[in-house]
Amino acid sequence: MTYRWIYLSDPKTISGSSEEFRTQDAAESFMGAEFSRLLGQGHLAARLMDGDDELYTMKLTADP
């Protein structure tokens, strides 16, 4: 399988996606390094996909 991030500008609007990664660890390392840049580009959340299966969604912002 391949892993990728789907970026969201709100809960129902896709605003982009990442490259594909061979492992979940690689995808999560990418997000750890890039979340601030992605937030600056207007992406507010990211959904980790394993092929066509959603693994989880994470917010890129802190709760108020």
Q: How confident is the model at residue 63 (pLDDT cuts 50, 70, 90)?
A: low
Could you give the 3-state DSSP secondary structure of residue 53? strand
User: Rounded CA gap, 7 and 39, in Å?
Assistant: 10
User: Rounded CA gap, 3 and 42, in Å?
Assistant: 22
**Residue range 3-7: mean pLDDT, rounded:** 98
| Nearest in space to 8 (alpha carbons), one of 47, 36, 37, 41 | 47
Domain coordinates in residue numbering, the chain? 3-59
pLDDT at residue 57, as a whole number:
96
* 17-61 pLDDT, tens digit each: 999 999 999 999 999 999 999 999 999 999 999 999 999 999 998
User: Rounded CA gap, 46 and 9, in Å?
Assistant: 9
pLDDT at residue 61, as a whole number:
87
In this structure, what is the dihedral angle of CA atoms 42, 49, 62, 13, given to the nearest 10 degrees? 40
pLDDT > 80? residue 62:
no
